[in-house]
Structure 1
Amino acid sequence: MKIGGLGSRFVLTFLAFAMVPDAAWAAYKDPTAGGDGGRIIRVTTLAKDGPGSLKAAIEAKGKRVVVFEVGGVIDLERSILDIEEPYLTIAGQTAPSPGITIIRGGIDLKGHDVKISHIRVMTGVDGQAKRSGWEADAFSTVAAHNVVVEHCSFLWAIDENMSTSGPRFKGQTLADWRAGTSHDIVFRENLAAEGLADASHPKGEHSKGTLIHDNATGITLYRNVYAHNMERSPLVKGGAQVLMVNNMIYDPGRKAVHYNLMNLEWKGHEYVTGEITAVGNVMRGGNSTSKGLPFLMLGGDGDLAYFGKDNVNVDRWGKPAPMFGRYGETKAKLIEKSAPLASLDGLKVMPSAELETSLLASVGARPWDRAPDDIRVLFFVAEGRGEIIDDEKVVGGYPHSVETRAPFVEKDWNIATMTPRSGRYPGQQEEAQEKLSGRDRQMRDGKAK
């Protein structure tokens, strides 16, 4: 089994998989159609608010599909973009190259029936002092339901890069609790990377991938890449129910997948057994990974029911690493099951031995037209490089792309699938996408001195 670096094999296949990004889940039934079939709203400005902005489109009422006639960077100026109105589709694939990148902020989704595709969010510490209180997620659902987030890139969060959260105990019964928090959420083909560690979060170190909060149910993680996050790839909290299929975790720091029902948080409430079904996932250690780090760790007091199949954990040298461990000496039990606890119907499950090349070619926003930081992170994963960072400046800081414009021509798109009728996406590149230095480019062109 080849789990390590990919070399030229990765470069050659980088674009091939990207051309058919939806093939792997063609038979899977999403929990929502979002705003599909609704009116089309065009985003025409990169301003953080006002007429023609993404914020204005999000706040509009009724079923709607948001498309873009502008490409570049939306600077939220350390604010959060709240999504509360339901029946919304955000189609970042429609933007002219280089697509839409949100910086200095994040997205909190508080509504229902929402689909988001091909958006980049790069939160960053933005020069704030350590532990000073700026603690934004790149993306989080907040008591939301019926949500699909696919082909997005989430980097440099101060809290989690990509999370699903809400109240633990809204109502009187377990059914009430589960209805009152986030449920039926799909995260698919996303890149969640470089959560900032020693930055401005008031709790101190906080490089985190995904938090799945207590009693959240119907949470699907399918074909995502986690890279350079200290913990939570994901953290599953008490009573939550999660399906993990064909994800990759690279260079986790102190924990990768972990489950924790904390007595301190559940005082006065009867414990609920959590559930994780994990199939065909790959974890590979990197420069920041603690020696002997297990794939799954159990903490807290509550029990976890677990089904695992064809999951792989290797260290940075490709040697097998432990599958299970625990933190804290408590009464929590790992209850291994012989059959999946969640349905895999409609999901194409790839053998873990074949996963890495496929994932690195297809995850993240606009794989046909990648941003430089996405390219950097994915090549570092392929090459076994990179590390957990404290500040976006150490990897070059925020992007400063030039604003671009192009009209959205409705007849050129299959509106039902939000795919171009020509088969070519805006900005589509034919060759392998690499981030080259000046000398690298001279070498490729045969002009180096």
Structure 2
Amino acid sequence: MKKLRNILLFLMYTLISIDVLIALPAFPGAGGYGANTRGAYGSPDHPISKPLILKVDSASSFKSALGNSNPRIIIFTKGGTYDLGGSDAKIYNPYITIAGQTAPGGGVCFKNGALRVDANNVIIRGLRWRTGMPRSTGSNRDCIGIEGDDLKDIIIDHNSLSWASDEIAVSWDYEDRITWSWNIISEGIGTHGYGLLAGTYVKNSSIHHNLFAHLVMRMPECNNGTNGEIINNVMYHWEGKATDFITGTQYWDVKKNYYKQKVEESDHKAIKIYWPGYNQYIINTNSRFFIEGNVGPNRPSSSSGGEWDMVYLEDGGGSGSQYAGPLRANTSVLTAPPVVRVTEHKAEDAYNVVLEKVGATAPLRDSVDLEVINDVIN
């Protein structure tokens, strides 16, 4: 009888522990679909109590730590610039936490290569990644790319990403539970200097409290089979369109974002949806979009005008709810919201909060980020 009681108590404790682990965010302040990522500490069905602590001080030791097959936390014992020499850094093994905020001095910055993520349970924080390489045939020149089939539970938070000649940030192909939060995504290079792409069949993405600045477009762009939330981002200085939705069936909440243009860009579109029947980029008529509380062109405050005044329907007639037809949803389209919800602000308040806290701020902001933020303000 006593043995049975102990077994029952153990099972009850295990179930409670799993429930707590499921509800526990990756770190204080984490929010959205990727917020329950455990990184080096495993997952609810594979909890890890003692991951390796790997110390890195160079590009080569960083790549070696990424390739380690054990659950691991990467910390930095040396700040400064890490030159990847033209070859990408790659994560193939799961259960990893990269803590860029541990770098001494002014922090750490990577150049001449991208960071490729092809593993589950990944946390990336506090990095500066300034690729600085021109676009070449057959080679993506991103900063951070999540690019593998059936990946899940990834959070990219408080990083500063710039100087890429393809998308600066990308998630692509059958991924699930991804959060991009509090990142500066800025200063793309050349005619393909794009921001963030949520590519084909990426499910349950949270894109919140990021600063997008000085980009051609894709702030972000969402493709066929995607769904998620775009909340409290600041978008500044784009060419032609900022946030857009192309191809297939999609379900997105687009809420409380702040779009700011330069004076000479008054005709550039903040949110664009390719109307069914337009061309190869068309959205299917069973797609739904919940647009609420955004500020920007045609809507100077979150309490003025109509919610769809900032939305341009390509070949659908123009901007405004009268052209939205079946695409317009009056409530959230998220059938299964994130366990850890994003803390939301009015768009006007988000503008100030994001500019104050966004990017790789620990131990301090570098001159590149300071210049970008100053551009947005002034």
Q: TM-score by structure 1 length?
A: 0.66
Partner of 1:373: 368
Residue 40 (1) aligns with residue 26 (2): no
Aligned counterpart for 2:332 among listed residues 329, 340, 353: 340
The 1:182/1:245 distance shift into structure 2, 3 A limit, reads: same
Distance 1:293 1:324 in 2: 8
Distance 1:215 1:296 in 2: 20
Residue 193 (1) aligns with residue 179 (2): no
Partner of 1:282: 258
Residue 311 (1) aligns with residue 294 (2): yes
Aligned counterpart for 1:232 among listed residues 185, 196, 218: 218
**1:358-369 matched pairs, under 5 angstroms:** 358-369=353-364
C-alpha contact (below 8 Å) 1:228/1:288 kept by paired residues: no
Partner of 1:183: 176
Partner of 2:128: 120
Q: How far did residue 229 of structure 1 move?
A: 0.8
Q: Deviations over 1:87-122 (max 9, x none)?
A: 000011111021110011111101110001000110
Distance 1:252 1:81 in 2: 29
Partner of 1:302: 283
What number of residue pairs does the alignment pair up? 324
Distance 2:299 2:325 in 1: 29
Residue 101 (1) aligns with residue 109 (2): yes
The 1:359/1:334 distance shift into structure 2, 3 A limit, reads: farther
SS at structure 2 position matched to 1:215 = coil
What letter corresponds to residue 83 of structure 1 in structure 2?
A: I
Q: How far did residue 287 of structure 1 move?
A: 6.0
**1:33-432 matched pairs, under 5 angstroms:** 33-36=38-41, 37-46=49-58, 48-49=59-60, 53-125=61-133, 135-143=140-148, 144-166=151-173, 181-197=174-190, 205-261=191-247, 271=248, 273-286=249-262, 289=265, 291-298=267-274, 300-303=281-284, 304-314=287-297, 322-327=309-314, 335-342=327-334, 343=337, 346-383=341-378
Distance 1:337 1:381 in 2: 31
Extract unaligned runs of 5+ from structure 2.
1-26, 42-48, 276-280, 318-323
Q: How far did residue 43 of structure 1 move?
A: 2.9
SS at structure 1 position matched to 2:215 = coil
C-alpha contact (below 8 Å) 1:286/1:315 kept by paired residues: no
SS at structure 2 position matched to 1:365 = coil
C-alpha contact (below 8 Å) 1:43/1:70 kept by paired residues: no
Q: How far did residue 317 of structure 1 move?
A: 9.7
Partner of 2:11: none
Distance 1:358 1:185 in 2: 22
What letter corresponds to residue 39 of structure 2 in structure 1?
A: G
Q: TM-score by structure 2 length?
A: 0.78
The 1:208/1:27 distance shift into structure 2, 3 A limit, reads: closer
What letter corresponds to residue 326 of structure 1 in structure 2?
A: L
Q: Deviations over 1:402-448 (max 9, x none)?
A: xxxxxxxxxxxxxxxxxxxxxxxxxxxxxxxxxxxxxxxxxxxxxxx
Distance 1:214 1:253 in 2: 23
Distance 2:170 2:210 in 1: 13
What letter corresponds to residue 153 of structure 1 in structure 2?
A: S
Extract unaligned runs of 5+ from structure 1.
1-21, 167-180, 198-204, 262-270, 384-449
What is the aligned-residue identity percentage? 23
What letter corresponds to residue 152 of structure 1 in structure 2?
A: N
What letter corresponds to residue 161 of structure 1 in structure 2?
A: I
C-alpha contact (below 8 Å) 1:253/1:290 kept by paired residues: no
Distance 1:288 1:230 in 2: 15
The 1:215/1:288 distance shift into structure 2, 3 A limit, reads: farther
C-alpha contact (below 8 Å) 1:79/1:105 kept by paired residues: yes
Distance 2:179 2:268 in 1: 30
**1:16-27 matched pairs, under 5 angstroms:** 25=30
Distance 2:299 2:90 in 1: 39
Distance 1:253 1:30 in 2: 32
Distance 1:91 1:27 in 2: 20
Q: Which contiguous aligned blocks of 4+ residues in structure 1 show a shift greater than 6 angstroms?
A: 26-29, 315-321
